[in-house]
Amino acid sequence: MARARTVLGLIGGAILVLSSAAHSLLGWKQLRSELASVQAPPDLVLGLAIGWHFGGVAMLALGCIVISLLLKRLKGENVSSFPALVVASAYLGFGTWAIILSHMNPFFLVFIVPGCLLAVAALPVSQRGARQ
SS (H, E, C) 58-103: HHHHHHHHHHHHHHHHHCCCCCCCHHHHHHHHHHHHHHHHHHHHCC
Q: What is the pLDDT of residue 125?
A: 66
Inside any domain, residue 46: yes
Let me know if residue 10 belongs to a domain.
yes
Within a domain: residue 131?
no
Domain count, the chain: 1
In a domain, 82, yes or no: yes
Within a domain: residue 129? no
* Mean pLDDT, residues 110-126: 91
Select from 114, 20, 131 the least CA-distant residue to 77.
131
Residue 80, domain extent? 2-122
Burial of residue 82 (number of CB atoms within 10 Å: 0-12, 13-18, 19+): exposed
Mean pLDDT, rounded, for 68-94: 95
Neighbouring residues of 2: CB distance < 8 A, sequence distance ≥ 6? 125, 126, 129, 130
Is residue 132, in this structure, part of any structural domain at all?
Answer: no
Q: Which of residues 101 and 131 earns the better pLDDT score?
A: 101
